[in-house]
A = this chain, B = another copy of it.
């Protein structure tokens, strides 16, 4: 009777993950951190572009008053203008600052969008596997997740999506490049999804929204380009952050953008600004808002992630692991050689290799490897990966 029922249940459910992290921490203490190969976290290893510090230094010596004060809840006009210009260059539509709400990372942005649109029991369709925090974000606002299967290459199963649509469907939530699979949905798939949603929105007389979570948008390989959801569908929200491409996840800076031609746009944006305020974020951190004005076209050196991916893919494939080559993000999502993915990641733990079971992403029978680590960590871990698969 101290913490709420929901929270006690959530803590109970996540006790396995906690045990897993405790096991990892124990091994680091026992064998030395350098001898434990931690692929469990999406915490980028690359340092932010050097331009970040240069910009921060300039901003800190700016003598104008009010630099750390409250600004409009949607964010500084200058920042929203810069984001609008950036999006206008990257999409067919023309964005204005009013189409942008600066947020406390993508996690903040998703909560803002979901709270704005969800009535209790409203459903959100999400292709599996997916970042499990989405379930908590939905639960925060009494929404219900409707996970749907994808094809073996992790592309949309449009029949499954259509089959999941009910009177309660309020949105489809996608994440491209995907965590945990690294999948980038193709332009054709996005177009077909948009056609499907247009059809059902028209039939019902109100929109089924498309929400695209794109923090890995710039982390793509071999010249892949992430297709624009805005070019395909007017009833779209883009949510993103600078956490991954600038390696600043601790600073909590991102944004949510709405399609300039979204229906009822005024109401939706007023709702988003209200939710940004009343969810307790109030506004995205001021100093980082001012910094990203100058960093929209920057990123860490993506080729280093591609090098990690190639090294890992070639080696794991040669050992017998099976998975499609990811086109973006910094994750691999191989099939576990045995059905019990938890037992398999425990076998990897014995080799001091830390990964996450696919069940944690509604993708049982798989496991996730986060390769946003130094190349040397991958090289040292490879023999362990080989030894473990040989056992099965």
Chain A contacts to B: CB under 8 angstroms: 1-8, 10-11, 14, 41, 43-44, 47-48, 52-53, 56-57, 60-61, 65, 67-71, 104-105, 107-112, 115-119, 122, 133, 136-137, 140-141, 205-207, 247-252, 263-264, 267-268, 270-271, 274-275, 277-288
Contact = CB atoms under 8 A, between A and B. Distances in A.
A69 B44 contact: yes
A207 B250 contact: no
B69 A274 contact: no
Contact of A264 (B3, B53, B270, B283): B3
Given A2-B264, A43-B69, A69-B247, 20 more contacts: A3-B264, A3-B267, A4-B115, A4-B117, A4-B271, A7-B116, A11-B271, A69-B249, A105-B280, A107-B282, A111-B279, A112-B280, A133-B277, A137-B278, A250-B285, A250-B287, A251-B285, A252-B285, A279-B280, A280-B281
A250 B74 CA distance: 12
A278 B136 contact: yes
A90 B52 CA distance: 37
Nearest to A56: B60
B207 A2 contact: yes
B281 A68 contact: no
Contacts of A118: 4
A2 B263 contact: yes
30 contacts: A1-B206, A2-B267, A2-B268, A3-B271, A4-B117, A4-B118, A4-B122, A4-B271, A7-B271, A7-B274, A11-B267, A11-B274, A14-B274, A44-B69, A48-B68, A53-B61, A68-B248, A68-B250, A69-B248, A70-B250, A104-B282, A107-B280, A111-B279, A115-B140, A133-B277, A137-B280, A140-B278, A249-B282, A252-B283, A279-B279
A334 to B, nearest CB: 24
B3 A268 contact: yes
Contacts of A43: 69-70
A280 B137 CA distance: 7
A115 B65 CA distance: 36
B280 A249 contact: no
A107 B60 contact: no
B252 A282 contact: yes
Contacts of A263: 2
A126 to B, nearest CB: 16
Nearest to A254: B280
Contacts of A280: 104-105, 107-112, 137, 140, 279, 281
Contacts of A5: 119
A78 to B, nearest CB: 13
Contact of A252 (B104, B137, B274): B104
Contacts of A48: 68
Contacts of A3: 116-117, 264, 267-268, 270-271
B249 A105 contact: no
Contacts of A270: 3, 11
Contact of A287 (B2, B110, B119, B251): B251
A253 B284 CA distance: 11
Contacts of A136: 278
Nearest to A263: B2
Closest 9 CB pairs of A and B: A250-B286, A107-B280, A2-B264, A136-B278, A1-B206, A111-B280, A68-B248, A3-B271, A7-B271
Nearest to A118: B4
- Among A6, A8, A48, A52, chain B packs the most CB atoms within 10 A around the CB of A6
Contacts of A41: 70
